[in-house]
């Protein structure tokens, strides 16, 4: 069985997260079976299909690494072929001209609704033999077959049956000669050699119509798989207005592309108890057996966890690249601080996203730090003045500014003062970072750099002196 899948989005400007998952499943399935993954841009709605939208879409897919195996096909370039097929259907008797005006159709539906019926084209031009009305440009409609039912064979849903009588004669070619979605979709899938159609659940009801068309054309239908929807965390439909709907939002927010893909893959698919997958593992594990049929909600907590798992194992240069962007985003200069790879290593297990890393590493890149008042009051007390001054002097005289040397220096100072390492660690941390949380203290000082460290220790000593002075004057007064 040959495998050729496709992702066929209409270019609306953003890559919808649900669409990304659909693309991912198509891509994975093709990769898994050594087939091809194709991209077709359904840009026949010319108003919405701006060139920049198309470019954005292709780029977004690229950023997640979902590259198609052939040049993307623009559906708009195929209208001649679509017309050809429509006329072929006309000649074979599977289609006919319909001279209804849009107003007439609207009125017809209105009446049907009023009578409590399903709005449906009544086939009034189906068997017309008389002369066509003057001045009306006709559309070409498909002649729905008379057979009893159509059966959609779906990977997830099994055989889904539709009574033909519930379907009506759909428009193939508009009055202006442009093809409609069903025709274009069916013809393009056939010509592209698509064998597996993996798409959203919202297309399930379109499939019987497309199947009828395929049958009328004598073609072999592809396999179908209709994926359940992706819902917002509250269980509602993902709103296009919500930024969480935009796949690129997650990249901007400091998530790793592979982590997003991993998360998305596990939403509606599973492989035993495994939660964390590399792309390679996904390719070798992905299969339709693991697919689920029910809609699933987005869970930001789980995404964060998955992302952290990926941060822990990601190549350091991948981390650095993203980190650089995140630092710039919050107004810091990535070049004015410790080497990015050291920063990445220090925080890859301590933050959930690269944005989190940048935020936590702020003190290593900025010149001004803010002392957290609570932490300072608690830790920078008069009793630590002497030890802090001693370690400050020792650090100033250090030959090499490495984490190992810094560690040894602090340990020696602590020992000579007869206090524990921990007694020195926290005051140093608060002095250098402004707060009580950071990587191990030797790493922290290394990352701050000697200049910043000594400078800030000086400030901290001043802070303590001020406290001592205040206490003294309070005692006197």
Partner RNA sequence: GUCCCCAUCGUCUAGUGGUUAGGACACCGGCCUUUCACGCCGGCAACAGGGGUUCGAAUCCCCUUGGGGACGCCA
Residues in region 353-382 near RNA by CB under 7 A: none
281 binds RNA (CB under 7 A): no
Which sequence positions are flagged as catalytic?
240
Q: CB neighbours of 127 closer than 8 A, spacing ≥ 6? A: none
For position 442 contacting RNA by CB under 7 A, the verdict is yes
Number of amino acids touching RNA (CB under 7 A):
84
Q: How far is the CB of 358 from RNA (least distance, A)?
A: 15
Q: Give the list of residues 6+ apart from residue 378 with CB closer than 8 angstroms, or none.
A: 436
Contact call for residues 168 and 117 (beta carbons, < 8 A): no
Q: Examine residue 139 and tell whether it contacts RNA (CB under 7 A).
A: yes
Asked if 147 touches RNA (CB under 7 A), the answer is no
Could you tell me the smallest distance in angstroms from the CB atom of residue 117 to RNA? 7
CB of 445 to RNA, least distance (A): 10
Question: Whole-angstrom Cα distance, residue 173 to residue 185?
Answer: 13
Q: Residue 91 or 103: which CB sits closer to RNA?
A: 103
Residue from 13, 290, 334, 338 that binds RNA (CB under 7 A)?
290
Residue 294 binds to RNA (criterion: CB under 7 A): yes
Tell me how far, at minimum, the Cβ of 100 lies from RNA, in Å. Answer: 5
Binding segment for RNA among 214-222, 231-239, 366-374, 383-391 (CB under 7 A)? 231-239
| One character per residue 246-275, x = contact with RNA (rule: CB under 7 A) | --------------------xxxxx-xx-x
Buried b (16+ CB within 10 A) or exposed e, 25-52: bbbbbbbbbebbbbbbbbbbeeeebeee
Q: What would the x/- binding string for RNA be over residues 76 to 105, using CB under 7 A?
A: ------------------------xxx--x
Least separation in angstroms between residue 178's CB and RNA is 7
* Cβ contact 425:388 at 8 Å: no
CB of 99 to RNA, least distance (A): 7
Ramachandran angles phi, psi of 314, nearest 5°:
-65, 145
Q: What are phi and psi of 350, to 5 degrees?
A: -110, -5
Task: Pick the piece of the chain touching RNA (CB under 7 A) from 42-50, 215-223, 385-393, 455-463.
Answer: 42-50
312 binds RNA (CB under 7 A): yes
- Which range in 86-94, 249-257, 343-351, 462-470 contacts RNA by CB under 7 A? 343-351
User: Among residues 240, 278, 229, 274, which one has the least CA distance to residue 256?
Assistant: 278
Pick 206 or 278: Cβ nearer RNA: 206
Among 202, 321, 370, 386, binds RNA (CB under 7 A): 202
**145 touches RNA (CB under 7 A):** no
CB of 348 to RNA, least distance (A): 9
**Interface stretch with RNA, choices 82-90, 297-305, 322-330, 361-369 (CB under 7 A):** 297-305
Q: Of the two residues 17 and 35, which places its CB atom closer to RNA in the complex?
A: 17
Query: Which region, judged by CB under 7 A, interacts with RNA, from 31-39, 295-303, 381-389, 464-472?
Result: 295-303
CB distance 27 to 284 below 8 Å: no
Enumerate residues 110-129 that contact RNA by CB under 7 A.
116, 118-121
Burial of 197 (0-12, 13-18, 19+ CB in 10 A): buried
Which string of x and - marks every residue 154-193 that binds RNA (by CB under 7 A)? --xx--xxxx--x---xx--xxx-x-xxx-x---------
* Nearer residue to RNA within complex by CB, 237 or 467: 237
The piece of 53-61, 246-254, 438-446, 463-471 that touches RNA (CB under 7 A) is 438-446
**237-246 long-range CB contacts below 8 Å, 24 or more apart?**
238/16, 238/17, 238/18, 238/298, 240/14, 240/16, 244/17, 244/298, 244/300, 245/14, 245/16, 245/17, 246/14, 246/15, 246/16, 246/17
Buried/exposed 402-426: b ≥16 CB within 10 Å, e otherwise:
ebeebbebbeebbeeeeeeeeebbb
**Per CB under 7 A, 53 contacts RNA:** no
225 binds RNA (CB under 7 A): no
């Amino acid at each position: 069985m040959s495998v050729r899948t496709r992702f066929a989005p209409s270019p609306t400007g953003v890559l919808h997260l649900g669409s990304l998952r659909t693309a991912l499943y198509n891509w994975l399935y093709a990769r898994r079976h050594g087939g091809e993954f194709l991209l077709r841009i359904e840009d026949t709605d010319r108003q919405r299909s701006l060139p920049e939208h198309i470019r954005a879409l292709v780029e977004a897919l690229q950023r997640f690494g979902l590259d198609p195996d052939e040049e993307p096909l623009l559906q708009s370039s195929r209208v001649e072929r679509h017309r050809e097929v429509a006329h072929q259907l006309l000649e074979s008797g599977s289609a006919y001209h319909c001279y209804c005006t849009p107003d007439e159709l609207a009125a017809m539906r209105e009446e049907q609704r009023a009578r409590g019926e399903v709005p449906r084209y009544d086939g009034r031009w189906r068997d017309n033999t008389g002369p066509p009305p003057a001045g009306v440009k006709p559309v070409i409609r498909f002649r729905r077959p008379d057979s009893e039912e159509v059966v959609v064979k779906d990977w997830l849903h099994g055989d889904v049956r539709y009574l033909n009588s519930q379907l009506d004669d759909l428009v193939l070619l508009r009055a202006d000669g442009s093809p409609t979605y069903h025709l274009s979709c069916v013809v393009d899938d056939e010509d592209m050699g698509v064998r597996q159609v993996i798409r959203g659940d919202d297309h399930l009801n379109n499939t019987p119509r497309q199947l009828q068309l395929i049958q009328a054309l004598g073609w072999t239908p592809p396999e179908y798989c209709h994926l359940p929807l992706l819902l917002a965390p509250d269980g509602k439909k993902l709103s296009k207005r919500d930024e969480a709907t935009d796949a690129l939002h997650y990249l901007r927010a400091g998530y790793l592309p592979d982590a997003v893909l991993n998360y998305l893959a596990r939403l509606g698919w599973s492989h035993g108890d495994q939660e964390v997958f590399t792309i390679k593992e996904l390719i070798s594990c992905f299969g339709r057996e693991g697919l689920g049929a029910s809609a699933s909600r987005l869970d930001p907590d789980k995404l964060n966890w998955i992302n952290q798992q990926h941060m822990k194992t990601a190549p350091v240069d991948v981390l650095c690249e993203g980190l650089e962007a995140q630092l710039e985003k919050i107004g810091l200069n990535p070049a004015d601080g410790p080497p990015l790879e050291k920063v990445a290593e220090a925080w890859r297990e301590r933050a959930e996203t690269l944005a989190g890393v940048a935020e936590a590493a702020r003190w290593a890149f900025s010149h001004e730090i803010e002392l957290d008042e609570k932490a300072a009051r608690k830790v920078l007390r008069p009793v630590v003045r002497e030890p802090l001054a001693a370690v400050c002097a020792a650090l100033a005289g250090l030959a090499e500014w490495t984490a190992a040397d810094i560690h040894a220096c602090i340990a020696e100072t602590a020992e000579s003062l007869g206090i524990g390492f921990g007694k020195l660690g926290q005051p140093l941390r608060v002095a250098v970072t402004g707060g009580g949380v950071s990587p191990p203290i030797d790493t922290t000082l290394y990352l701050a750099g000697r200049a910043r460290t000594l400078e800030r220790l000086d400030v901290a000593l001043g802070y303590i002196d001020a406290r001592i002075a205040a206490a003294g004057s309070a005692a006197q007064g």
